[in-house]
Structure 1
Amino acid sequence: MTERPTPDLSILETRVYRGANIWSYDRAIHLVVDLGVLEKFPTNTLPGFTDHLVAMLPGLREHSCSRGRRGGFVERLHEGTWLGHVAEHCALALQQVVGHDVRRGKTRQVKGRDGVYNVIFGYADEQVGLAASRLAVRLVNHLVEADPAFDWDEELEQFIRRAQRTAFGPSTQAIIDEAVSRDIPWIRLNQHSLVQLGQGVHAQRIRATMTSQTSSIAVDIASDKDLTTSLLSAAGLPVPKQESVRTVEACVRAAGRIGYPVVVKPLDGNHGRGVCLNLQDEDQVAEAFEIAREQSRRGHVIVESHVVGKDYRCLIIDGKVAAIAERVPASVVGDGSSTVEQLVDDANADPRRGVGHEKVLTRIKVDDAAIERVRDQGFAMSDVPPEGTTVRLALTGNMSTGGISIDRTFEAHPENVEIAEEAARMVGLDIAGIDFICPDITEPVRETGGAICEVNAAPGFRMHTHPTIGEPQFIAKPVVDMLFPPGATSRIPIIAVTGTNGKTTTSRMISHIFKGMGRKVGMTSTDGVVIDERLVIRADASGPRSARMVLQNPRVDTAVFEVARGGILREGLGYERNDVAVVINVAPDHLGLRGIDTVEQLADVKAVLVEAVPRDGHAVLNADDPLVRAMRRRCSGQVVWFSMEEPGTETRDMIDAHCRRGGKALVLNPSERGEMIVVKHGPREMQLAWTHLLPSTFGGKARMNVQNALAAAAAAFASGAPLHDIRQGLRSFSTNYYLSPGRLNEIEVNGVNVIVDYCHNAPGMRMLGDFVDRVGDSLEGSHDLARPSRIGIIATAGDRRDQDMRELGDVAAQHFDVVIVREDEALRNRPRGETAGLVLEGVRAAMAAGARCKQAEEVLDEIEAVRHAMSRANRGDLVILCVDQHAAVMTELENWSPQAQAGAGFSDDSPLADPDYVAPTAE
């Protein structure tokens, strides 16, 4: 029986990348889709598929795809392409329907899985992009086999309405577009119009056209129309006579005192709601009072004299007139054959008109007020007005009620401009909308008559950026100029650190260097988020969300991010680019997770940081690691090498050639006195520090921290830090618990030398084992009676591969006399004891092959394992605790013996010497 196509396309997995990622330099949505039986049916085998698809989404004709020309994708459809690729282009086309300019996309088969594809495409709004992906899959399936419940027109309309609900208003979007054109980063802070421009200490916020610089008092004044009129009148500015009332009787009496005709409006309304104009008698005033009171938040109503003339809106930004528009109330013009109702329908059919602020014009709303207004002009909605007769449907010229705008920016009389600017200054608004009523804006209002009827906070930009008649005004420019004057900085330096091992310590070293320079550093790491030396969140904060949290903090002027593999794969980077990317090493770890099966693939993930370096940035790379060295080809900026190799090696020869071309590097130069860290920049060599004098290196024995110090110094040097500040930072950074909790913390407990560290994988254990051998050898030389024992507590996470767990045990057995295997509290989908059992297998296999280890034990609970290790240790022994919950372990050691507080790790200024100190916990 011949197999036939069925609608099998389905989404297996969805990821949203909010920054650079392994697929794209920019944010993207990643779908893993399964074609099912459709894998056997490319588009050229589906009769009518292409024609129907293009008819439903005509924008696909513009897609170039891999052909690089208009219509390239349609050619691919006719020739035959797979439906995962079609879903990608449909998701892009749907976003383009709602005005989002997104074009990036790619589709690749998942290795080793027939019919399963990675579909990646860009997005402008996350929720719209996700909705587009779901609708695209439904559309493709519908075209394969028609679904009676699938109404394309209705589905498309619902999608458009959803996009409109989450879209920025025209004012906010105009400011964001201007910011983007100046390379100013932005972050959406809620689902509405609250947006942050810039980063950290340079950040400014906007909400529609209110800014961080908008005075709250000025907004209150503008909202109180009575107070506004009083202030303007006191300044000698033309304003109408006005009174504030709370009852209908007071309203009628005030109208009589002011003199008819009058205007009645809410004291604190907006968008022209509740405004009643040209009221001629007491009955109209009484009726208008109820309308105005409904729109007044505090129940106060304004009665003022009716000023005759045209309605003008003067936009003032930072004290200067930026644009002027004449506002014409919603109206239709008779053609001699259509009714008023038909004329309104024809006007609303204009594609420029939409609901609310979604488009440049708003649809004319026919409500009771509009019908009454038409009746006042002698017509009913079913009447046919004579040709050329204008029928108004609203009293006010607000765009939100269906009005139109005519640009008058360059026509206003200078005196009127001066009056508008003075009005904004009197109220105190940085961005103000001044409403003028006057016969002609080109003539002085003091001579022709006219007045300022309102001063508005947060004025809309739509009438100026998209006037119905006249030239648009680029008014977002002065707004951004006000927030970020020419030459002002909008970004803070971002230093991102990644690697298999050493990320946290290197990040702490870099942060410590900049703290010594007086910077307010925001740092993320696996221990949490630190803002200016204060731990604000205790959690694994090496992902993109924590990075965004730092960039939103108004105190931070330098950001140091530890970036882990998991965050990159899950959401991408939490920012657009990093000024300095540091890659310490790449070794087998976390393999077999999220499609990363080889160390080369893991290197591709780490390289995302290098790809996020701009042309004026730097990538700090470990020249000793071949996988890291290969990342230089992915860097748009400059490469700064660091190396622990001795002079004369192939690596050092490569670095010397790099520096002869003007490059930068940090290397170790050995001598009789020890190893010197040397900064190389072009032909110059500058001595930085002896490695054995850096506290974090334990006299040079902790080779992993020598490497970390090289990386940290290179990052600081690339960021422009002076050498003496880098030197001082490295000399003052130690691995005590206060500066580096859980990383090579050394203490003495009853004569036992204890090291607390986070080591949890085989590559890290090799480096830690080298340190243990160096320290252990020095301890053996200081004891004449017996050789000190080396006791190690080890563990790993349950999401590692079985062979990785066995390898960890094998490596540990080479360096310890006694190995105690424990387990983390989070088992990561393994039964209790399984992870420890696999590690023990590796230990015992190594013991059978003649490894140093003579005894292996299993104590699953972390604290119980610590107690067991300490109970069997003798004076002079070396105990290495590879911990998960380092704060709990340090507390246990502190309780174990009073001497712990007086040990090397607990000086008088140590946090554990403070009885009120609450140690951080890694969650």
Structure 2
Amino acid sequence: MSGRPSPDLAITETRVYRGANVWSYDRAIHLVVDLGSLEEFPTSTLPGFTDHMMTMLPGLREHSCSRGRRGGFVERLHEGTWLGHVAEHCALALQQVVGHDVRRGKTRAVKGTTGVYNVIYGYDDEQVGLAAGRLAVRLVNHLVQADPEFDWDAELESFIRRAQRTAFGPSTQAILDEAMSRDIPWIRLNQYSLVQLGQGVHAKRIRATMTSETSAIAVDIASDKDLTTRLLGAAGLPVPKQESVRTADQAARVAVRIGFPVVVKPLDGNHGRGVCLNLENEGEVREAFETAKGESKRGVVVVESFVTGKDYRCLIIDGRVAAIAERVPASVTGDGISTVEQLVDTANADPRRGVGHEKVLTRIKVDAAAEALVAEQGYEMTAVPPEGQVVKLALTGNMSTGGISIDRTLEAHPENAEIAEEAARMIGLDIAGIDFICPDITEPVRETGGAICEVNAAPGFRMHTHPTIGDPQFIAKPVVDMLFPPGTPSRIPIVAVTGTNGKTTTSRMISHIFKGMGHKVGMTSTDGVVIDERLLIRADASGPRSARMVLQNPRVDLAVFEVARGGILREGLGYERNDVAVVLNVAPDHLGLRGIDTVEQLADVKAVLVEAVPRDGHAVLNADDPLVRAMRRRCSGQVVWISMDEPGSETRDMIDAHCRRGGKALVLNPSERGEMIVVKHGPREMQLAWTHLLPSTFAGRARMNVQNALAAAAAAFATGAPLHDIRQGLRTFSTNYYLSPGRLNEVEVNGVNVVVDYCHNAPGMKMLGDFVDRTGDSMESSHALARPSRIGVIATAGDRRDEDMRELGEVAARHFDVVVVREDNQLRGKERGYVADLVTDGVRSAMEDGARCKQVEVVLDEIEAVRHAMSRANAGDLLVLCVDKHAAVMSELENWSPQAQAGSGVTDESSPGADPDYYTADA
């Protein structure tokens, strides 16, 4: 150790995981931090660091860290821990300051890099979590070396205010807490209070206390106070006399007609704004008119008789009284020492009070109206009221104007509750706030006098969930009961598919099976988002955002997600859990990206799906792949094995032992008639289908699709599909372009057998090459005069390792007579021709070792490569096109039909050989 510590801690990379990920079972924020010179300074070497940290964030004393007991983290600080670890705990503590109960976190060194660490911690609100991480790093640097521009108190207050801006209000949070307690998933749809509860076809939406069941007409009626009063009066319910007016003169005349005292309020106001009470003469009415008109959206004001009594709010949910609260206007009580102004400041210092609806109580606002009301009571704001004297600062009891609430739910007279329930039914609101003015809610209002003065849509819950006096009412329960009656589902089944190769085809097979059963399937894949067999978005949609899009669609009753490793590393899964996880295989692909350098690390990424399987779920695992087989230890649910090994092999012995214990598996049983897919469940064996009779397997030659069919059948079986529906789905699924675009599509063009596939890596090319060999051998046996040629057009993405690109060429050379190398349009950071040269090198290397290939050619443009390959292919040849833009390639193939060529006017000058990106490299 040398020198003095410098504030070098810096964030070099930030990721937000919105679901299960490689670091955590739940959503998390991932910061890559560089300690710089601080790598040499653990906390034990920094005098005063721990004491100052505890002073600024005392909540850190509660952190157990790895010790598993309170104060464990403080012990680590005294013993000496690195500052990346400190930043993790600070980010958690900051979120706890604003009420977010997050405790998960870990810090791990980045392998092979000194002083660089992965800092991972949980979050409730994404923006708050990110802000907490940034402030934590600044705080650590400040404690290492004081920054004169860093004001901790100001920074903390700014952070708290930011959290309050994005936080849900008390009403929304109460509903979400109840939903989460019932395992109902939710998705925030905007930065405010619009939230989806449930998934797909089961989804409901709420915005504060307005739900997807709330009638728009009922909300309009409740917003029109004049119409509300007339409807309630027509139903025989007690309401005050009232009329709507547009001018101050009209207001004065109506007040005289109704009789003083009166109330003047806006027709369509809310939260008590603009309401003027107990007006005794025409002058007060005229003055109040202007106040009420300023809060009216349509400029209409209501004048109504003033009903004396206390202010009660009856909350009606789904036609029943859920809670009743007495609302007391904002006021202060004198102590004989403090002025009115000081008493207000003391009341606002209550930690329960905040701005607007951010906390359970609202700060008392002193404006001109409040000062005038205080003056009417004989005081000034600087006066000292006698001890025990109550000074009102508002006439209305709304919580939003600083009032308090007293719970009266159990005290209300049953007749009053019936009146409130009938009022909500008359207006048509599923959740309504009925405002009663009466002397005492414990006595019938028809006898003591009183009236319903207002009906409110989207009433606030906080006066009931957090009353100032009395017991809180758990009113979120009836709301969730209304949206999701006990026993009704809130989740749709989710099947997630991953693997190096075969993901898209397997996902399509699973979707096809369930579509045949009548399900509305939402599917994501590398081709796009498909809802009920309609392609909504054409893009690579194998990431978490596309998954959330499906879960938000109200038609979907079953989801099938293709999950790629890029999305997992970038954002996590994007959903909480999957009922069935399918892992097909793990092979070297995309290594060297985002810290994934080995195939074992890639397997850890794929295993995230298996870890997201709940106890009542299933993981479909390929027992033939050792890396996939090892994932069984990470599964909380049941494992369903699939295997293409023959009976008697070590793998089949393991599967037989698994089934003897009641497990499930799908295997192949060979016979003289062919291979039979067999479903094993415990001691039972059930025949499903002959592989050679499934269209997608090309009479069993496409071994990759035999494996995909096994996986799809296993996923459907685990999801609960009957065997006859699974069998029918496999028998009707083919690789034609309409069902499986870009995946082993076979067409005949001018006598040439053309296969279009997406193959783009060496492991996939081995499987495709096996299909080419099997197909080519059968074609040769039917051509006695000449041996058909096998021509392959191949390419790979530019973000592969150089050795992976060369290997693709080497594998292709073993199966094709002629290899045409092309490039994708998106080179992913490589120069034009770089990828093609590496692939060509691989082909040449294999040719020198005696591979089948005799000629390699390079045509960089995809369509030009297709044209070149078609121009040199003869009738009876097998042409395999490994494509990037399959739609464009299929369109080009249509142009090679005799009818298209007859009118095309193609000349020698427009032939593929004239392209400058074309050249030949012979053996």
TM (norm. structure 1) is 0.97
2:837 and 2:794 map into 1 onto residues whose CA distance is 12
* Native 8 Å contact 1:315 1:322 kept in 2: yes
**Number of paired residues?**
901
2:197 and 2:270 map into 1 onto residues whose CA distance is 27
Residue in structure 2 matched with residue 558 of structure 1 by the alignment: 558
Q: Does 1:738 align with 2:738?
A: yes
1:900 and 1:106 map into 2 onto residues whose CA distance is 63
Over aligned residue pairs, what C-alpha RMSD do you find? 0.8
Pairing of 1:426-825 with structure 2 (within 5 A): 426-825=426-825
Pairing of 1:314-329 with structure 2 (within 5 A): 314-329=314-329
Letter in 2 for 1:583: V
Letter in 1 for 2:642: F
1:507 and 1:415 map into 2 onto residues whose CA distance is 59
1:680 and 1:350 map into 2 onto residues whose CA distance is 66
**Structure 1: segments with no counterpart, 5+ residues:** 902-923
Residue in structure 1 matched with residue 75 of structure 2 by the alignment: 75
Cα deviation, 1:356-411, whole Å, max 9, x if unaligned, reads 11111111000111101101111100111111110000010000100000000000
Secondary structure of 2:895's aligned partner? helix
1:158 and 1:452 map into 2 onto residues whose CA distance is 43
* Native 8 Å contact 1:750 1:900 kept in 2: no
Q: Post-superposition shift, 1:898?
A: 4.1
Pairing of 1:758-907 with structure 2 (within 5 A): 758-898=758-898
1:354 and 1:565 map into 2 onto residues whose CA distance is 44
1:2 and 1:534 map into 2 onto residues whose CA distance is 65
2:254 and 2:79 map into 1 onto residues whose CA distance is 78
Cα deviation, 1:667-712, whole Å, max 9, x if unaligned, reads 0000000000000000000000000000000000000000000000
1:876 and 1:335 map into 2 onto residues whose CA distance is 103
Residue in structure 1 matched with residue 916 of structure 2 by the alignment: none
Residue in structure 2 matched with residue 911 of structure 1 by the alignment: none
Q: Post-superposition shift, 1:279?
A: 0.3
Q: Post-superposition shift, 1:2?
A: 4.0
Residue in structure 2 matched with residue 419 of structure 1 by the alignment: 419
* Native 8 Å contact 1:543 1:567 kept in 2: yes
Secondary structure of 1:576's aligned partner? coil
Secondary structure of 1:718's aligned partner? helix
Letter in 1 for 2:274: G
1:900 and 1:100 map into 2 onto residues whose CA distance is 66
Letter in 2 for 1:38: L
Q: Does 1:7 align with 2:27?
A: no
Secondary structure of 2:15's aligned partner? strand
2:419 and 2:245 map into 1 onto residues whose CA distance is 28
Letter in 1 for 2:47: P
1:252 and 1:532 map into 2 onto residues whose CA distance is 62
Q: Post-superposition shift, 1:784?
A: 1.2
2:880 and 2:466 map into 1 onto residues whose CA distance is 69
2:496 and 2:515 map into 1 onto residues whose CA distance is 16
Cα deviation, 1:847-869, whole Å, max 9, x if unaligned, reads 01100000001000000000000
1:887 and 1:348 map into 2 onto residues whose CA distance is 66
1:296 and 1:50 map into 2 onto residues whose CA distance is 56
* Native 8 Å contact 1:589 1:761 kept in 2: yes
Q: Post-superposition shift, 1:336?
A: 0.9
Residue in structure 2 matched with residue 99 of structure 1 by the alignment: 99
Q: Post-superposition shift, 1:751?
A: 0.3
Cα deviation, 1:649-677, whole Å, max 9, x if unaligned, reads 00000000000000000000000000000
Q: Does 1:391 align with 2:387?
A: no
Secondary structure of 2:730's aligned partner? helix
Cα deviation, 1:702-748, whole Å, max 9, x if unaligned, reads 00000000000000000000000000000000000000000000000
* Native 8 Å contact 1:62 1:71 kept in 2: yes
Q: Post-superposition shift, 1:785?
A: 1.1
Letter in 1 for 2:563: V
Cα deviation, 1:422-448, whole Å, max 9, x if unaligned, reads 000000000000000000000000000
Cα deviation, 1:247-297, whole Å, max 9, x if unaligned, reads 111011110110000000000000000000000011110010000001000
Residue in structure 1 matched with residue 179 of structure 2 by the alignment: 179
- Dislocated runs of 4+, deviation >2 Å: 898-901
* Native 8 Å contact 1:748 1:900 kept in 2: no
Q: Post-superposition shift, 1:483?
A: 0.1
1:191 and 1:888 map into 2 onto residues whose CA distance is 40
Letter in 2 for 1:868: H
Q: Does 1:86 align with 2:86?
A: yes
Secondary structure of 1:374's aligned partner? helix
Letter in 1 for 2:864: E
Q: Post-superposition shift, 1:516?
A: 0.2
2:868 and 2:20 map into 1 onto residues whose CA distance is 46
Q: Does 1:246 align with 2:249?
A: no
Residue in structure 2 matched with residue 227 of structure 1 by the alignment: 227
Residue in structure 2 matched with residue 404 of structure 1 by the alignment: 404
* Native 8 Å contact 1:91 1:132 kept in 2: yes
2:283 and 2:55 map into 1 onto residues whose CA distance is 58
Cα deviation, 1:157-214, whole Å, max 9, x if unaligned, reads 0000000000000000000000000000000000000000000000000000000000
Residue in structure 2 matched with residue 200 of structure 1 by the alignment: 200
2:339 and 2:568 map into 1 onto residues whose CA distance is 61
Residue in structure 2 matched with residue 293 of structure 1 by the alignment: 293
1:384 and 1:574 map into 2 onto residues whose CA distance is 59
1:427 and 1:361 map into 2 onto residues whose CA distance is 29
Pairing of 1:23-34 with structure 2 (within 5 A): 23-34=23-34
2:781 and 2:60 map into 1 onto residues whose CA distance is 77
TM (norm. structure 2) is 0.97
**Structure 2: segments with no counterpart, 5+ residues:** 902-923
1:447 and 1:531 map into 2 onto residues whose CA distance is 60
* Native 8 Å contact 1:584 1:621 kept in 2: yes
Residue in structure 1 matched with residue 370 of structure 2 by the alignment: 370
* Native 8 Å contact 1:267 1:302 kept in 2: yes
Letter in 2 for 1:568: I
